[in-house]
Structure 1
Amino acid sequence: MNQPGAEPVTDSPYAGVAEHVARYLSSDGRDGHMEAGVPNLVLTTRGRKSGKLRRTAMFYTKDGDRYVIVASHMSGGPKHPDWYLNLVANPEVHVQAGSEKFTARARTAGAEEKPRLWALMTRLWPAYDTYQATATREIPVVVLERV
């Protein structure tokens, strides 16, 4: 996926997230990269049904050259977030982490690697453990690798 710009992009339907993305992008990541003391990235996916570009912000950590995110939604709500379903269908995504922008291939962490990556994310945001404990679904961990 090329850097968004040639096509219209729809931001998150959640007003607070859309406002966060707007601040992030307008400041080239200076305002919004760190939120609640946690690093955030902006992820652009292609809609699995509409084919349109969709954008959201989320916490991340790095694992070597890879970026790691968690597909929690509404504090571990019963459904996977739309952005996760989109990247499963269309794994080529665009990422902005701070001022760095790149295309990545997204994949769900496998059973062998997930516990270690989950631990990295819960050190960053301990509430993920609470989300998983109360969730009725297995919350995926997603690995973003540059292409």
Structure 2
Amino acid sequence: MTSAMDLHGPAHVARYLETDGADGHDWRRGTTVLLLTTIGRKSGEARTSPLIYREWGDAYLVVASKGGADAPPAWFLNLAANPDVTVQIRAERFAARARTATAEEKPAMWGAMVEAWPDYDSYQAGTEREIPVVVLERT
């Protein structure tokens, strides 16, 4: 059986859900992954994405990098239409509200996320788009 460390996208989500994160939470290079479920802004359907995260006080941080692409990821666009999301960390699922980090918050939050996944700095260097940090706050 392939480890979730070798999986991306829907395959990673499926394995994470099947195992309540036992296979999928701990990912490459010592980082950790949560599942973020948004509501599609066009389809109205639930969409789940595996995302690297870090705790930030009572909240959780994720980065809308899409690997440094010039366009933001679909899940980030969905948040603009509906910031109410579901988060799963290992077996725990909870409702949250998503918001983009403010200009004042972002430098420290970005630093924490780069510590978790150093490639974020190269992703930012490769695009004109300012890559946002998203704050997930329990509701």
TM tier, smaller? over 0.9
Matching of residue 30 in structure 1 with residue 35 in structure 2: no
- Which residue pairs with 1:120 in the alignment? 112
For the aligned residue pairs, the C-alpha RMSD in angstroms reads: 1.0
SS state at 1:34 partner: coil
SS state at 2:15 partner: helix
Q: TM-score, normalised by structure 2?
A: 0.92
Q: Which runs of 5+ in 1 are unaligned?
A: 1-14
Q: Distance in 2 between matches of 1:33 and 1:118?
A: 21
Q: Distance in 2 between matches of 1:39 and 1:88?
A: 25
SS state at 2:32 partner: strand
- Which residue pairs with 1:68 in the alignment? 61
Q: Which runs of 5+ in 2 are unaligned?
A: 1-6
Q: Cα offset for 1:134?
A: 1.0
Matching of residue 97 in structure 1 with residue 89 in structure 2: yes
Matching of residue 43 in structure 1 with residue 36 in structure 2: yes
- Which residue pairs with 1:78 in the alignment? 70
Counterpart AA for 1:63: W
Q: Cα offset for 1:122?
A: 0.2
SS state at 1:80 partner: coil
Contact 1:41 1:58 in 2 (8 A): yes
Structure 1 stretches of at least 4 aligned residues deviating more than 4 Å after TM superposition: none
Task: Specify which structure has the higher proportion of helix.
Answer: 2
